[in-house]
Structure 1
Amino acid sequence: MKHKMRCVIVDDEPMAREILASYIEKTANLQLIKSCKNASEALVFMQDNQVDVYFLDINMPEISGLSLAKIINKKAQIIFTTAYRDYAVDGFDLMAADYLLKPISYDRFLAAVEKVNPIKDSKNNNHFMFVRADRKMVKIDFESILYIESLSDYVKIFTSKKSIITRETISNLEQKLEGKSFIRIHRSYIVSIDKITSYTNEFIEIDKKALPISRSYKESVLQKLAEV
Protein backbone atom coordinates (compact mmCIF):
# COMPACT_ATOMS: atom_id res chain seq x y z
CA MET A 1 0.00 0.00 0.00
CA LYS A 2 1.37 3.39 -0.97
CA HIS A 3 2.17 5.69 1.90
CA LYS A 4 -0.41 8.42 2.47
CA MET A 5 0.92 11.75 3.66
CA ARG A 6 -0.57 12.65 7.04
CA CYS A 7 -1.99 16.18 6.89
CA VAL A 8 -2.95 18.76 9.50
CA ILE A 9 -4.96 21.89 8.75
CA VAL A 10 -4.45 24.95 10.96
CA ASP A 11 -6.86 27.81 10.16
CA ASP A 12 -9.13 29.98 12.29
CA GLU A 13 -11.77 30.17 9.53
CA PRO A 14 -14.28 27.25 9.58
CA MET A 15 -15.05 27.56 5.87
CA ALA A 16 -11.37 27.49 4.94
CA ARG A 17 -10.88 24.34 7.04
CA GLU A 18 -13.87 22.67 5.36
CA ILE A 19 -12.60 23.44 1.86
CA LEU A 20 -9.12 22.12 2.56
CA ALA A 21 -10.56 19.04 4.27
CA SER A 22 -12.68 18.28 1.20
CA TYR A 23 -9.64 18.67 -1.07
CA ILE A 24 -7.55 16.35 1.10
CA GLU A 25 -10.34 13.77 1.25
CA LYS A 26 -10.52 13.45 -2.54
CA THR A 27 -6.74 13.33 -3.04
CA ALA A 28 -5.53 9.72 -3.06
CA ASN A 29 -2.14 10.18 -1.43
CA LEU A 30 -3.32 12.45 1.40
CA GLN A 31 -4.89 11.65 4.77
CA LEU A 32 -6.35 14.30 7.08
CA ILE A 33 -5.47 13.43 10.68
CA LYS A 34 -6.37 16.73 12.38
CA SER A 35 -8.10 20.03 11.65
CA CYS A 36 -7.17 22.77 14.13
CA LYS A 37 -8.84 26.15 14.63
CA ASN A 38 -5.70 27.77 16.05
CA ALA A 39 -1.97 27.25 16.50
CA SER A 40 -2.27 26.33 20.19
CA GLU A 41 -4.44 23.34 19.31
CA ALA A 42 -1.90 22.28 16.68
CA LEU A 43 0.98 22.58 19.16
CA VAL A 44 -0.72 20.11 21.52
CA PHE A 45 -1.46 17.65 18.72
CA MET A 46 2.03 17.68 17.22
CA GLN A 47 3.60 16.60 20.53
CA ASP A 48 2.41 13.01 20.14
CA ASN A 49 1.65 12.63 16.44
CA GLN A 50 3.72 12.37 13.30
CA VAL A 51 2.70 14.86 10.63
CA ASP A 52 3.94 14.95 7.04
CA VAL A 53 2.23 18.10 5.73
CA TYR A 54 0.82 21.18 7.47
CA PHE A 55 -1.61 23.50 5.71
CA LEU A 56 -1.03 26.67 7.72
CA ASP A 57 -3.06 29.85 7.61
CA ILE A 58 -0.63 32.71 8.16
CA ASN A 59 -2.87 35.38 9.68
CA MET A 60 -4.29 33.86 12.89
CA PRO A 61 -4.89 35.44 16.32
CA GLU A 62 -2.40 34.97 19.19
CA ILE A 63 0.08 32.66 17.39
CA SER A 64 0.47 33.25 13.65
CA GLY A 65 1.14 30.56 11.09
CA LEU A 66 4.61 32.02 10.51
CA SER A 67 5.44 31.70 14.22
CA LEU A 68 4.11 28.15 14.31
CA ALA A 69 6.16 27.20 11.25
CA LYS A 70 9.38 28.09 13.05
CA ILE A 71 8.82 25.39 15.69
CA ILE A 72 7.33 22.63 13.55
CA ASN A 73 9.44 19.49 13.15
CA LYS A 74 11.80 20.14 10.24
CA LYS A 75 10.89 16.77 8.69
CA ALA A 76 7.36 18.02 8.06
CA GLN A 77 6.42 20.01 4.95
CA ILE A 78 4.53 23.30 5.12
CA ILE A 79 2.05 24.74 2.64
CA PHE A 80 0.95 28.23 3.68
CA THR A 81 -2.58 29.47 3.00
CA THR A 82 -3.62 33.10 3.28
CA ALA A 83 -5.84 35.80 1.86
CA TYR A 84 -2.92 38.26 1.82
CA ARG A 85 -0.46 38.16 -1.07
CA ASP A 86 2.09 40.26 0.85
CA TYR A 87 2.99 37.32 3.10
CA ALA A 88 4.53 35.29 0.26
CA VAL A 89 8.13 36.40 0.81
CA ASP A 90 8.04 35.62 4.54
CA GLY A 91 6.52 32.22 3.76
CA PHE A 92 9.26 31.18 1.38
CA ASP A 93 11.93 32.46 3.77
CA LEU A 94 10.75 29.61 6.03
CA MET A 95 11.29 27.10 3.20
CA ALA A 96 7.61 26.41 2.65
CA ALA A 97 6.80 23.92 -0.10
CA ASP A 98 4.26 26.35 -1.54
CA TYR A 99 2.04 29.34 -0.83
CA LEU A 100 -1.68 29.22 -1.60
CA LEU A 101 -3.67 32.42 -2.00
CA LYS A 102 -7.35 32.22 -0.97
CA PRO A 103 -9.78 31.41 -2.45
CA ILE A 104 -7.95 28.19 -3.32
CA SER A 105 -8.97 26.13 -6.33
CA TYR A 106 -8.53 22.35 -6.31
CA ASP A 107 -6.16 22.53 -9.30
CA ARG A 108 -3.91 24.97 -7.46
CA PHE A 109 -4.11 22.80 -4.33
CA LEU A 110 -2.92 19.75 -6.32
CA ALA A 111 -0.04 21.73 -7.78
CA ALA A 112 1.13 22.57 -4.25
CA VAL A 113 0.85 18.95 -3.12
CA GLU A 114 2.96 17.83 -6.10
CA LYS A 115 5.80 19.99 -4.78
CA VAL A 116 5.74 18.06 -1.51
CA ASN A 117 5.92 14.54 -2.98
CA PRO A 118 9.57 14.38 -4.13
CA ILE A 119 10.84 15.67 -0.78
CA LYS A 120 8.61 13.30 1.13
CA ASP A 121 9.76 10.29 -0.85
CA SER A 122 13.40 10.98 -0.03
CA LYS A 123 12.67 10.83 3.68
CA ASN A 124 11.60 7.21 3.45
CA ASN A 125 15.29 6.27 3.13
CA ASN A 126 15.94 6.80 6.84
CA HIS A 127 17.16 3.76 8.77
CA PHE A 128 15.81 4.96 12.10
CA MET A 129 12.93 6.76 13.78
CA PHE A 130 12.36 8.84 16.90
CA VAL A 131 9.66 8.04 19.47
CA ARG A 132 8.72 9.83 22.67
CA ALA A 133 9.77 7.90 25.78
CA ASP A 134 10.80 9.01 29.28
CA ARG A 135 9.99 12.64 28.44
CA LYS A 136 12.41 12.77 25.51
CA MET A 137 12.63 11.73 21.88
CA VAL A 138 14.52 8.43 21.64
CA LYS A 139 16.26 7.25 18.47
CA ILE A 140 15.54 3.66 17.43
CA ASP A 141 17.45 1.97 14.60
CA PHE A 142 15.11 -0.14 12.46
CA GLU A 143 17.73 -2.89 12.35
CA SER A 144 17.59 -3.32 16.14
CA ILE A 145 13.80 -3.85 16.34
CA LEU A 146 12.61 -7.40 17.02
CA TYR A 147 8.89 -6.72 17.28
CA ILE A 148 6.35 -4.15 18.48
CA GLU A 149 3.46 -4.87 20.81
CA SER A 150 0.40 -2.70 21.44
CA LEU A 151 -0.74 -2.73 25.08
CA SER A 152 -3.93 -0.77 25.77
CA ASP A 153 -2.97 2.93 25.67
CA TYR A 154 0.74 2.53 24.89
CA VAL A 155 3.13 0.57 22.65
CA LYS A 156 6.17 -1.46 23.64
CA ILE A 157 9.05 -1.70 21.17
CA PHE A 158 11.31 -4.70 21.73
CA THR A 159 14.85 -4.31 20.41
CA SER A 160 17.93 -6.52 20.56
CA LYS A 161 19.17 -4.61 23.62
CA LYS A 162 16.12 -3.28 25.49
CA SER A 163 12.40 -2.50 25.34
CA ILE A 164 11.01 1.02 24.94
CA ILE A 165 7.54 2.18 25.95
CA THR A 166 5.86 4.99 24.03
CA ARG A 167 2.31 6.35 23.78
CA GLU A 168 2.36 6.31 19.98
CA THR A 169 -0.28 4.10 18.37
CA ILE A 170 0.78 0.90 16.64
CA SER A 171 -0.88 2.13 13.43
CA ASN A 172 1.28 5.27 13.48
CA LEU A 173 4.41 3.16 13.94
CA GLU A 174 3.27 0.89 11.12
CA GLN A 175 3.22 3.92 8.81
CA LYS A 176 6.72 4.94 9.93
CA LEU A 177 7.97 1.43 9.13
CA GLU A 178 6.24 1.21 5.75
CA GLY A 179 8.62 0.15 3.01
CA LYS A 180 10.99 -1.45 5.53
CA SER A 181 11.36 -5.13 6.45
CA PHE A 182 8.40 -5.21 8.84
CA ILE A 183 4.96 -6.79 8.70
CA ARG A 184 1.77 -6.39 10.74
CA ILE A 185 0.63 -9.87 11.89
CA HIS A 186 -2.06 -8.90 14.40
CA ARG A 187 -3.85 -5.77 15.59
CA SER A 188 -1.37 -5.84 18.50
CA TYR A 189 1.86 -6.94 16.78
CA ILE A 190 4.33 -5.77 14.14
CA VAL A 191 7.40 -7.94 13.57
CA SER A 192 10.75 -7.59 11.83
CA ILE A 193 10.84 -10.10 8.99
CA ASP A 194 14.63 -10.37 9.33
CA LYS A 195 14.31 -11.44 12.99
CA ILE A 196 11.83 -14.29 12.41
CA THR A 197 13.36 -17.65 13.40
CA SER A 198 10.36 -19.81 12.41
CA TYR A 199 6.65 -19.60 11.66
CA THR A 200 3.47 -21.65 11.22
CA ASN A 201 0.00 -20.71 10.02
CA GLU A 202 -0.82 -19.51 13.53
CA PHE A 203 2.39 -18.17 15.07
CA ILE A 204 5.63 -16.37 14.32
CA GLU A 205 8.64 -17.03 16.54
CA ILE A 206 11.11 -14.26 17.34
CA ASP A 207 13.71 -14.39 20.09
CA LYS A 208 12.11 -17.59 21.48
CA LYS A 209 8.73 -15.86 21.78
CA ALA A 210 5.68 -17.07 19.83
CA LEU A 211 3.56 -14.21 18.50
CA PRO A 212 0.05 -14.92 17.16
CA ILE A 213 -0.99 -14.32 13.56
CA SER A 214 -4.59 -13.11 13.62
CA ARG A 215 -7.20 -14.43 11.23
CA SER A 216 -7.63 -11.06 9.51
CA TYR A 217 -3.89 -10.75 8.75
CA LYS A 218 -3.15 -14.43 8.03
CA GLU A 219 -3.51 -14.38 4.24
CA SER A 220 -1.34 -11.29 3.68
CA VAL A 221 1.28 -12.44 6.22
CA LEU A 222 1.70 -15.93 4.78
CA GLN A 223 1.82 -14.55 1.25
CA LYS A 224 4.48 -12.02 2.22
CA LEU A 225 6.61 -14.62 4.00
CA ALA A 226 6.32 -17.04 1.07
CA GLU A 227 7.89 -14.36 -1.14
CA VAL A 228 10.93 -13.88 1.12
Structure 2
Amino acid sequence: MNKLMILTGEPLTRSILANFFDGISDFCVEGSFEDVPGLLSAVQNSQVDVLFADAEYAMQGNFLPLINPYGAKRPLIVLLARDGQAAAKSYEMQNVIDYVIKPSTPERLFLSLQKIRMQLSLINSYEAVGAPHSPRRDYVFIKVNKKMVKLSLDEILYVESVKDYIKIVTEKKSFLVYNTLTNFTASLPEGRFARIHRSYTVSVDKIDAIEGNTVEIMTTRLPFSRKYIAENQLKVFK
Protein backbone atom coordinates (compact mmCIF):
# COMPACT_ATOMS: atom_id res chain seq x y z
CA MET A 1 0.00 0.00 0.00
CA ASN A 2 1.41 3.38 -1.04
CA LYS A 3 1.10 6.14 1.54
CA LEU A 4 -0.04 9.55 0.33
CA MET A 5 -0.28 12.93 2.03
CA ILE A 6 -1.91 16.18 0.94
CA LEU A 7 -0.71 19.72 1.69
CA THR A 8 -2.96 22.57 0.59
CA GLY A 9 -4.64 25.51 2.24
CA GLU A 10 -7.86 24.96 0.26
CA PRO A 11 -10.50 22.70 1.86
CA LEU A 12 -12.13 22.00 -1.52
CA THR A 13 -8.86 20.73 -3.01
CA ARG A 14 -8.19 18.54 0.02
CA SER A 15 -11.68 17.08 -0.30
CA ILE A 16 -11.35 16.41 -4.06
CA LEU A 17 -8.03 14.61 -3.63
CA ALA A 18 -9.15 12.61 -0.60
CA ASN A 19 -12.33 11.47 -2.36
CA PHE A 20 -10.44 10.50 -5.52
CA PHE A 21 -7.81 8.39 -3.75
CA ASP A 22 -10.40 6.86 -1.44
CA GLY A 23 -11.44 4.76 -4.44
CA ILE A 24 -7.88 3.74 -5.41
CA SER A 25 -7.03 0.38 -3.86
CA ASP A 26 -3.22 0.68 -3.89
CA PHE A 27 -3.12 4.10 -2.19
CA CYS A 28 -3.96 5.21 1.32
CA VAL A 29 -4.32 8.87 2.34
CA GLU A 30 -2.30 9.06 5.55
CA GLY A 31 -3.01 12.72 6.20
CA SER A 32 -4.42 15.94 4.77
CA PHE A 33 -2.91 19.22 6.00
CA GLU A 34 -3.49 22.92 5.51
CA ASP A 35 -0.03 24.06 6.59
CA VAL A 36 3.58 22.90 6.68
CA PRO A 37 3.89 22.40 10.49
CA GLY A 38 1.04 19.89 10.44
CA LEU A 39 2.70 17.94 7.64
CA LEU A 40 6.12 17.92 9.29
CA SER A 41 4.67 16.60 12.53
CA ALA A 42 3.02 13.71 10.66
CA VAL A 43 5.97 12.67 8.47
CA GLN A 44 8.17 12.16 11.53
CA ASN A 45 6.14 9.06 12.32
CA SER A 46 5.34 7.77 8.84
CA GLN A 47 7.14 7.20 5.54
CA VAL A 48 5.45 9.09 2.71
CA ASP A 49 5.48 7.69 -0.83
CA VAL A 50 3.59 10.51 -2.55
CA LEU A 51 2.90 14.12 -1.60
CA PHE A 52 0.41 16.44 -3.30
CA ALA A 53 1.48 19.98 -2.31
CA ASP A 54 0.54 23.54 -3.22
CA ALA A 55 3.19 25.01 -5.51
CA GLU A 56 3.59 28.08 -3.29
CA TYR A 57 4.75 25.84 -0.43
CA ALA A 58 7.18 24.05 -2.71
CA MET A 59 8.63 27.32 -4.00
CA GLN A 60 9.52 28.31 -0.44
CA GLY A 61 11.85 25.31 -0.51
CA ASN A 62 12.33 25.20 3.26
CA PHE A 63 10.14 22.20 4.04
CA LEU A 64 11.46 19.78 1.39
CA PRO A 65 14.80 19.04 3.14
CA LEU A 66 12.81 18.27 6.29
CA ILE A 67 10.58 15.64 4.70
CA ASN A 68 13.40 14.34 2.47
CA PRO A 69 16.66 15.04 4.36
CA TYR A 70 18.90 12.55 2.57
CA GLY A 71 17.97 13.06 -1.07
CA ALA A 72 15.85 9.91 -1.15
CA LYS A 73 13.68 8.99 -4.11
CA ARG A 74 10.56 9.30 -1.95
CA PRO A 75 8.25 11.05 -1.59
CA LEU A 76 7.28 11.69 -5.18
CA ILE A 77 5.78 15.18 -5.37
CA VAL A 78 2.83 16.42 -7.41
CA LEU A 79 2.39 20.19 -7.36
CA LEU A 80 -1.00 21.88 -7.14
CA ALA A 81 -1.30 25.28 -8.81
CA ARG A 82 -3.80 27.79 -10.15
CA ASP A 83 -1.90 28.07 -13.43
CA GLY A 84 0.90 26.32 -15.25
CA GLN A 85 3.27 29.27 -14.94
CA ALA A 86 3.18 29.11 -11.14
CA ALA A 87 3.88 25.38 -11.12
CA ALA A 88 6.63 25.62 -13.74
CA LYS A 89 8.74 27.79 -11.41
CA SER A 90 9.20 24.85 -9.04
CA TYR A 91 8.86 21.97 -11.50
CA GLU A 92 12.65 21.48 -11.67
CA MET A 93 12.80 20.49 -8.00
CA GLN A 94 13.99 17.03 -7.04
CA ASN A 95 11.23 14.39 -6.92
CA VAL A 96 8.60 16.58 -8.64
CA ILE A 97 7.03 14.40 -11.33
CA ASP A 98 3.85 16.28 -12.24
CA TYR A 99 1.68 19.32 -11.60
CA VAL A 100 -2.09 19.59 -11.53
CA ILE A 101 -4.09 22.76 -12.18
CA LYS A 102 -6.72 23.54 -9.54
CA PRO A 103 -9.56 22.75 -9.37
CA SER A 104 -8.51 19.28 -10.49
CA THR A 105 -10.76 16.90 -12.40
CA PRO A 106 -10.93 13.11 -11.98
CA GLU A 107 -9.62 12.71 -15.54
CA ARG A 108 -6.52 14.82 -14.83
CA LEU A 109 -5.91 13.10 -11.50
CA PHE A 110 -6.07 9.73 -13.23
CA LEU A 111 -3.29 10.81 -15.63
CA SER A 112 -1.22 11.91 -12.65
CA LEU A 113 -1.92 8.58 -10.96
CA GLN A 114 -0.51 6.75 -13.97
CA LYS A 115 2.72 8.77 -13.75
CA ILE A 116 2.97 8.06 -10.03
CA ARG A 117 2.47 4.32 -10.48
CA MET A 118 5.08 4.17 -13.23
CA GLN A 119 7.66 6.07 -11.20
CA LEU A 120 7.02 4.03 -8.04
CA SER A 121 7.38 0.85 -10.07
CA LEU A 122 10.81 2.01 -11.28
CA ILE A 123 11.89 2.95 -7.76
CA ASN A 124 10.74 -0.38 -6.35
CA SER A 125 12.61 -2.22 -9.11
CA TYR A 126 15.85 -0.34 -8.41
CA GLU A 127 15.51 -0.97 -4.68
CA ALA A 128 14.75 -4.67 -5.17
CA VAL A 129 17.72 -5.19 -7.49
CA GLY A 130 20.13 -2.97 -5.62
CA ALA A 131 19.49 -4.00 -2.03
CA PRO A 132 20.91 -7.55 -1.99
CA HIS A 133 23.70 -7.04 -4.54
CA SER A 134 24.93 -3.46 -4.03
CA PRO A 135 25.88 -2.70 -0.42
CA ARG A 136 27.89 0.26 -1.73
CA ARG A 137 25.86 2.67 -3.83
CA ASP A 138 27.94 4.04 -6.71
CA TYR A 139 25.46 6.42 -8.30
CA VAL A 140 22.86 9.10 -7.69
CA PHE A 141 19.82 10.14 -9.68
CA ILE A 142 19.58 13.83 -10.54
CA LYS A 143 16.77 15.69 -12.27
CA VAL A 144 17.89 17.31 -15.53
CA ASN A 145 15.38 18.87 -17.93
CA LYS A 146 12.46 17.06 -16.28
CA LYS A 147 14.26 13.71 -16.64
CA MET A 148 15.87 11.60 -13.91
CA VAL A 149 19.49 10.97 -14.96
CA LYS A 150 21.73 8.33 -13.39
CA LEU A 151 25.14 9.79 -12.53
CA SER A 152 28.10 7.69 -11.38
CA LEU A 153 29.70 8.97 -8.18
CA ASP A 154 33.12 8.30 -9.71
CA GLU A 155 32.42 10.98 -12.30
CA ILE A 156 31.82 13.77 -9.78
CA LEU A 157 34.75 16.13 -9.19
CA TYR A 158 32.99 18.63 -6.95
CA VAL A 159 29.62 20.24 -6.28
CA GLU A 160 29.09 23.99 -6.06
CA SER A 161 26.20 25.89 -4.48
CA VAL A 162 24.68 28.40 -6.93
CA LYS A 163 21.85 30.32 -5.24
CA ASP A 164 18.84 27.94 -5.23
CA TYR A 165 20.68 25.36 -7.33
CA ILE A 166 23.78 23.19 -7.20
CA LYS A 167 26.26 22.71 -10.03
CA ILE A 168 27.59 19.16 -10.20
CA VAL A 169 30.93 19.25 -12.01
CA THR A 170 32.39 16.21 -13.77
CA GLU A 171 35.44 15.97 -16.03
CA LYS A 172 33.30 16.06 -19.17
CA LYS A 173 30.35 18.31 -18.28
CA SER A 174 28.38 20.08 -15.55
CA PHE A 175 24.78 19.66 -14.38
CA LEU A 176 22.65 22.41 -12.85
CA VAL A 177 20.16 20.85 -10.42
CA TYR A 178 17.51 22.40 -8.19
CA ASN A 179 18.68 21.34 -4.72
CA THR A 180 20.62 22.63 -1.74
CA LEU A 181 24.27 21.73 -1.17
CA THR A 182 23.47 20.54 2.37
CA ASN A 183 20.70 18.24 1.17
CA PHE A 184 22.70 16.81 -1.73
CA THR A 185 25.86 16.29 0.35
CA ALA A 186 23.84 14.37 2.94
CA SER A 187 22.68 12.00 0.19
CA LEU A 188 26.26 11.08 -0.77
CA PRO A 189 28.12 8.12 0.79
CA GLU A 190 29.99 9.22 3.90
CA GLY A 191 33.76 9.18 3.51
CA ARG A 192 33.84 9.59 -0.27
CA PHE A 193 32.85 13.26 -0.27
CA ALA A 194 33.73 16.14 2.04
CA ARG A 195 32.18 19.57 2.56
CA ILE A 196 35.14 21.98 2.42
CA HIS A 197 33.31 25.30 2.26
CA ARG A 198 29.78 26.63 2.58
CA SER A 199 29.68 26.65 -1.23
CA TYR A 200 31.63 23.48 -2.10
CA THR A 201 31.60 19.72 -1.57
CA VAL A 202 34.40 17.72 -3.19
CA SER A 203 35.15 14.11 -4.06
CA VAL A 204 38.00 13.18 -1.71
CA ASP A 205 39.60 10.86 -4.29
CA LYS A 206 39.72 13.68 -6.84
CA ILE A 207 41.79 16.06 -4.66
CA ASP A 208 45.22 16.57 -6.28
CA ALA A 209 46.71 18.97 -3.75
CA ILE A 210 45.97 21.07 -0.66
CA GLU A 211 47.84 24.32 -0.14
CA GLY A 212 46.94 26.58 2.75
CA ASN A 213 43.20 27.17 2.55
CA THR A 214 42.92 25.95 -1.03
CA VAL A 215 42.03 22.57 -2.52
CA GLU A 216 43.18 21.76 -6.05
CA ILE A 217 41.19 19.42 -8.29
CA MET A 218 42.66 19.11 -11.78
CA THR A 219 43.06 22.74 -12.89
CA THR A 220 40.48 24.17 -10.48
CA ARG A 221 41.37 25.73 -7.13
CA LEU A 222 38.60 25.81 -4.51
CA PRO A 223 38.51 27.57 -1.12
CA PHE A 224 38.93 25.38 1.98
CA SER A 225 37.16 27.09 4.88
CA ARG A 226 38.72 26.90 8.36
CA LYS A 227 35.28 26.00 9.69
CA TYR A 228 35.41 22.67 7.83
CA ILE A 229 39.11 21.79 8.25
CA ALA A 230 38.82 20.16 11.69
CA GLU A 231 35.61 18.38 10.70
CA ASN A 232 36.90 16.92 7.45
CA GLN A 233 40.66 16.49 7.82
CA LEU A 234 40.32 12.81 8.72
CA LYS A 235 38.35 12.21 5.52
CA VAL A 236 40.86 14.11 3.40
CA PHE A 237 44.08 12.77 4.96
CA LYS A 238 42.94 9.21 5.73
In the superposition, the TM-score normalised over structure 1's length comes to 0.55
Indicate yes or no: 2:117 matched with 1:70.
Answer: yes
What are the superposed Cα offsets for residues 69-99 of structure 1, whole Å, 9 maximum, x if unpaired?
A: 414444657xxxxxxxxxxxxxxxxx9xxxx
Structure 2 counterpart of 1:214, one-letter code: S
Partner of 2:94: 49
| Match 1:24 to one of 36, 40, 43 | 43
Q: Which of 10, 13, 33 pairs up with 2:6?
A: 10
Identity %: 27
CA RMSD of aligned residues (A): 4.3
TM-score by length of 2: 0.53
For 1:161, what is the secondary structure of its paired residue?
coil
Judged with a 3 Å threshold, the aligned counterparts in structure 2 of structure 1 residues 202 and 40 are, in CA distance, closer, same or farther, namely: closer
Q: Which runs of 5+ in 1 are unaligned?
A: 1-6, 52-59, 78-94, 96-117
Structure 2 segments unaligned to the other structure (5+ residues): 8-13, 19-30, 47-64, 70-74, 82-86, 97-103
Tell me the residue number matched to 1:104. Answer: none
Cα distance in 1 for residues equivalent to 2:95 and 2:142: 10
- Cα 1:136–1:50 shift into 2, 3 Å: closer
Q: Distance in 1 between matches of 2:234 and 2:217?
A: 19
Spell out the pairing of 1:145-156 with structure 2 (5 A cutoff). Answer: 145-156=156-167
Deviations 1:171-221 (A, max 9, x none): 332133133611111121110000111114512111132211223322112
Shift of 1:140: 1.7
Instruction: Give me the whole-angstrom Cα distance separating, in 2, the residues matched to 1:225 and 1:39.
Output: 40
CA distance in 2, matches of 1:152, 1:213: 19
8 A Cα contact 1:24 1:31, kept in partner: no
Deviation at residue 16 of structure 1 after TM alignment: 4.7
- Work out the number of aligned pairs and report it: 170
Whichever residue aligns with residue 208 of structure 2, its letter is T
- Give the 3-state SS of the residue equivalent to 2:93 in structure 1: coil
CA 1:47–1:124: 2 relative to 1, 3 Å: farther
The answer to whether 1:126 aligns with 2:137 is yes
Supply the AA of the counterpart residue of 2:215: I
- Does the 8 A contact of 2:94 with 2:178 survive in 1? no
